[in-house]
């Protein structure tokens, strides 16, 4: 499959993941959602690795890097998003997921120095932050309720994503490791961590139904299994900032499914804030340029 098609498919699947989480929470606890997601995803990727006979790395240091990625890319954000959807709609969670390119641009530049932001991208980050503030709506009474913690959890999750995108590009992407193996080690090690945490996160009472079970299977096998192979392919081909642009598609799918399937409603500030975030992403991704090269040169000369 071509990289561009994998990028679009990734956005569609991850957009639907917020619906799957919401439905799954009707029968299981948030920790069990993250647990099942990672275990089913690891089993799916394990089968793919065995079928394709993908080799695994031999250097111990590589596994240490993957442990870091497993925690920051899977364990923590999956728990945060699942916990958050107890208090916020799946539509709003998918909107917050769109902030990922902003956090990626900041951390890929500041923490790992794998990319360098120009003036348009810096402006895009600032615009994106303003958009997040509008989505939160600190002026509303709702912002003072429990939902604000759910929104902060979503922001924490996308910050983890931003960190992990930069970390993968800095320490893993350049290594000669098959894409299938990269995805398997990422999800597989995260699943091992979650299994070790079973007494803490996965022993709550369960109320199974077909929608809950199918949502967990789809979230794991597809949304955390196959899609991560696509994600690694795109990340290696396009880099962290461009890859995080999958969140153009994700909120559209997430909001549409939330409204059509779950009957969710959005406050006026949420789509407005999402539009502002999108403008920030366009600048960060350099899809829109406000500063021409000539203008940048003149500013530098003036400095």
What is the mean pLDDT of the segment spanning 34-50? 95
For residue 49, what pLDDT band results from cuts at 50, 70 and 90?
A: very high
For residue 302, what pLDDT band results from cuts at 50, 70 and 90?
A: very low
For residue 298, what pLDDT band results from cuts at 50, 70 and 90?
A: very low
For residue 142, what pLDDT band results from cuts at 50, 70 and 90?
A: low
Report the distance separating Cα 290 and Cα 193, nearest Å: 45
What is the mean pLDDT of the segment spanning 53-77? 94
Q: What pLDDT digit, counting tens, does each position of 163-190 carry?
A: 998 898 888 888 888 888 988 999 999 9
Report the distance separating Cα 139 and Cα 133, nearest Å: 10
- Helices 30-52 and 179-196: crossing angle in degrees, nearest 10, is 140
Q: What pLDDT digit, counting tens, does each position of 185-211 carry?
A: 999 999 999 999 999 888 888 998 999
Report the distance separating Cα 154 and Cα 156, nearest Å: 5
Q: What pLDDT digit, counting tens, does each position of 229-260 carry?
A: 888 788 778 876 677 667 778 888 999 999 99
Compute the radius of gyration of the chain from its Cα atoms: 19
Task: Assess contact for 37 and 212: CB atoms under 8 A.
Answer: no
Q: What pLDDT digit, counting tens, does each position of 69-120 carry?
A: 999 999 999 999 999 999 999 999 998 988 888 888 888 777 776 667 788 8
pLDDT for position 141:
53
Report the distance separating Cα 278 and Cα 284, nearest Å: 10
For residue 299, what pLDDT band results from cuts at 50, 70 and 90?
A: very low
Task: Report the candidate in 74, 224, 242, 235 with the shortest Cα–Cα distance to residue 169.
Answer: 235
Could you give the percent of the chain with pLDDT greater than 90?
Answer: 45
What is the mean pLDDT of the segment spanning 147-155? 90
pLDDT for position 303:
47
pLDDT for position 28:
96
| Helix, strand, coil percent values for the chain (each to nearest 5) | 80, 0, 20
Task: Report the candidate in 115, 170, 266, 231 with the shortest Cα–Cα distance to residue 125.
Answer: 115
pLDDT for position 30:
96
């Amino acid at each position: 499959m071509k990289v561009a098609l994998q990028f679009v498919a990734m956005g569609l699947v991850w957009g639907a993941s917020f619906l799957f989480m919401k439905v799954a929470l009707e029968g299981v606890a948030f920790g069990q959602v993250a647990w099942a997601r990672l275990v089913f995803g690891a089993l799916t990727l394990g089968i793919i690795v065995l079928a394709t006979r993908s080799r695994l790395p031999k250097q111990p240091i590589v596994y240490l890097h993957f442990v870091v990625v497993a925690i920051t890319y899977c364990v923590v954000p999956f728990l945060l998003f699942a916990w958050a959807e107890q208090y916020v709609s799946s539509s709003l969670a998918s909107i917050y997921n769109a902030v990922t390119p902003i956090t990626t641009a900041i951390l890929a530049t500041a923490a790992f120095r794998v990319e360098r932001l120009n003036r348009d991208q810096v402006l895009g980050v600032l615009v994106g932050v303003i958009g997040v503030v509008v989505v939160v709506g600190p002026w509303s009474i709702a912002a003072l309720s429990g939902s604000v913690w759910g929104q902060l959890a979503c922001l924490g999750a996308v910050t983890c994503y931003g960190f992990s995108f930069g970390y993968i590009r800095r320490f893993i992407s350049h290594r000669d490791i098959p894409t299938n193996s990269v995805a398997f080690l990422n999800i597989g090690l995260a699943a091992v961590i979650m299994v070790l945490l079973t007494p803490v996160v996965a022993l709550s009472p369960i109320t199974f139904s077909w929608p809950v079970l199918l949502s967990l299977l789809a979230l794991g096998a597809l949304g955390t299994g196959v899609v991560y192979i696509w994600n690694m392919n795109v990340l290696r081909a396009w880099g962290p900032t461009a890859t995080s642009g999958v969140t153009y598609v994700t909120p559209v799918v997430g909001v549409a499914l939330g409204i059509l399937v779950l009957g969710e409603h959005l406050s006026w500030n949420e789509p407005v804030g999402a539009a502002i975030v999108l403008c920030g992403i366009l600048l960060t991704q350099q899809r829109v340029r406000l500063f021409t090269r000539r203008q940048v040169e003149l500013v530098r000369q003036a400095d």
